[in-house]
A and B are shown apart, each in its own frame.
Chain A
Amino acid sequence: MDRLRIATAWFGGCAGCHMSFLDLDEFLIELAGKADLVFSPVIDVKEYPENVDVCLVEGAICNHDNLELLHRIRKRTKVLVSFGDCAVTGNVPAIRNQLGPRNVENVLQCAYIDNAQDNPRLPRSEGIVPELLERVRPVHEIVPVEVFLPGCPPSAGKIKELLERVLAGLPPRVDGDEPRFG
């Protein structure tokens, strides 16, 4: 059997889900023996590759860069895992949605102008700083998702359970514990 091609992606989130992934400890070694990590914030690959078996997507979709990459991931991935509360619910990054249609303006104003200690100015650089979306959205509101792994963060045990099933060629899902937000 071919080695499994695994990826992880990091959108609007605190990277805590990735920390939980790294909490897999020695299982990471076992995983490395059976699978290739082909794209991830923890490895130096710029372009999301073709033919990915499983991708764990952490974070809410907050800006155009997130959106573009998510669509590419969906196109090139068999099993997309909505990984952690930000990906599943929008969670903390989506709190700005409460500010309504002009939330982008308000959030930037608050962060970069009102509370700036010096040099208050909006970050703007065409083609480099991605523009924020009007509304932060969970992953499944944009593309179909195969597996939901809620939790802030999801426990390493759950991540392991999912990956073990995938490695064994079983349908990707999480049994065991009841899912839990937060």
Chain B
Amino acid sequence: MAAKTLKIDGRQVSAAEDTTVLDAAAEAGIRIPTLCHLEGVYDAGACRLCLVEVAGTAKLLPACTTLVAEGMEVVTQSDRLRRYRRMTLELLLAERNHVCAVCVANGHCELQSLASEHGIDHVRYDYRFPRWGVDATHPRFGLDHNRCILCTRCVRVCWHIEGAGTKNVAGRGAKSFIIDDLNQPWGDSESCTSCGKCVLACPTGALFDRGSTVGEMERDRTKLEFIVNAREKKQWIVSE
């Protein structure tokens, strides 16, 4: 496979030709913020946090779905990108009911830590305070729509790693929400194998192990990578 040479934030980087800009940057130790990206499943390009500037293109491109090209010049940090990322995070914080103080994922939440990283000390948009419920019908797991950011990681792991196809999205716009099967209680789902991969994948406190209380939902994402490596590369590597 041919290698490509490109510049990311002024640094010379080389990457295999089918590599995404996100992976090439990560390999070079350059971290681009993401929320919907999850190692092991295909990318949705939905959260728009990984947008980067590419010389010669007026449009901002999502690093997770843009492939490297020879001579490409990528900028991952600029005032403009930082402003956009900050606003996008603010929009998410105002969209549903993210009450960090009483959340199972407090301290282990990707939305919370990205907001912190981006210096968000308050949200300028009006909080929407929508009314969403909690699905606590499954014996082991719960789904709190109030904390969902619709990244669809759970949907993608359910379809593409577990293969059960239980989770999906219903509705549209701000009224979209995660469903099980044909929008029935999770506990009644016949396709769900209770594998818990969706819970491992969730970046916030939306999906949780029942019985966990504030700050207790820590997730071990390496398990997902382990399964993907095992299946696709036939490598059974247990990371430390």
Interface residues in chain A, defined as those with a beta carbon under 8 Å from any beta carbon in chain B? 82, 85, 88-92, 94-95, 97-100, 135, 138, 140-141, 145, 148-150, 152, 174, 178-182
Contacts and interface: CB of A to CB of B under 8 A. Distances in A.
Contact of B101 (A91, A138, A141, A179): A91
B119 A178 contact: yes
Interface residues of B, number: 28
A179 B116 CA distance: 5
Contact of B127 (A94, A149, A180, A182): A94
9 contacts: A98-B129, A100-B131, A138-B127, A140-B122, A149-B121, A178-B119, A179-B120, A182-B100, A182-B101
Contacts, number: 69
Contacts of A89: 93, 99, 122-123, 127
B117 interface: yes
B127 A90 contact: yes
B112 interface: yes
A181 B100 contact: yes
A125 to B, nearest CB: 29
Given A94-B129, A135-B129, A182-B106, 4 more contacts: A82-B122, A88-B121, A94-B127, A98-B146
Interface of B is mostly: loop
Contacts of A98: 97, 129-132, 146
Contact of A182 (B112, B122, B123, B131): B112
B107 A182 contact: yes
Interface of B: 93, 97-103, 106-107, 109, 112-113, 115-117, 119-123, 126-127, 129-132, 146
Contacts of B115: 180-181
A82 B132 CA distance: 28
Contact of B112 (A88, A91, A181): A181
Nearest to A150: B121
A97 B101 contact: no
B131 A99 contact: yes
Minimum-distance CB pairs A-B, first 10: A182-B100, A152-B101, A97-B129, A179-B121, A148-B121, A181-B100, A178-B116, A180-B116, A148-B122, A182-B106
Contacts of A149: 121
B119 A179 contact: yes
A166 to B, nearest CB: 17
A89 B93 CA distance: 9
A84 to B, nearest CB: 9
The residue among B98, B99, B101, B132 with the most chain A CB atoms within 10 A of its own CB is B101
Given A97-B129, A148-B121, A179-B121, A92 B112 contact: no
Given A94-B129, A98-B97, A98-B129, A178 B122 contact: no
A85 B100 contact: yes
B121 A91 contact: no
A98 B115 CA distance: 23
Contacts of B126: 141
A140 B113 CA distance: 22
